[in-house]
Amino acid sequence: AQTVTQSQPEMSVQEAETVTLSCTYDTSENNYYLFWYKQPPSRQMILVIRQEAYKQQNATENRFSVNFQKAAKSFSLKISDSQLGDTAMYFCAFMKPLIIQGAQKLVFGQGTRLTINP
């Protein structure tokens, strides 16, 4: 079974600083997807960034980038020039398609509560 571990329950940085959230996972699969989701106090889970395991290039989305180390099974999220609106819970998630009918099965980590201070 796949597992996802986020070892940092809480983090706090000053506005405009760079912060890195760590995530490790365990799987025997070779082809899969990894995601970072953000959940602000409004509760809505918002996709931040995703990475396909077969791609060696790290994904980037504006101020958000990942460091994907497949051999180490590590998938960290870097937030550059952090903003107050980045305050949220951040969840790392692993996905491979379900065999039956191709539906997805996401496995989430425990989450990291990130606070950006003014």
Residue from 1, 71, 72, 100 touching another protein (CB under 8 A): that is 100
Pick the stretch among 12-20, 61-69, 80-88, 108-116 that binds another protein (CB under 8 A): 108-116
Selected range binding another protein among 13-21, 45-53, 60-68, 74-82, rule: CB under 8 A: 45-53
Which one of 47, 60, 69, 81 is in contact with another protein (CB under 8 A)?
47
Contacts with 36 (C-beta within 8 Å, 6 or more apart), sequence order: 21, 23, 47, 48, 49, 50, 64, 66, 75, 77, 90, 91, 92, 93
Contact between 106 and another protein by CB under 8 A: the answer reads yes
- Rounded to an integer, what distance in angstroms lies between the CA atom of residue 97 and that of residue 61? 24
Q: CB 20 → another protein: shortest distance, Å?
A: 20
- Cα-atom radius of gyration of the chain, to the nearest Å? 14
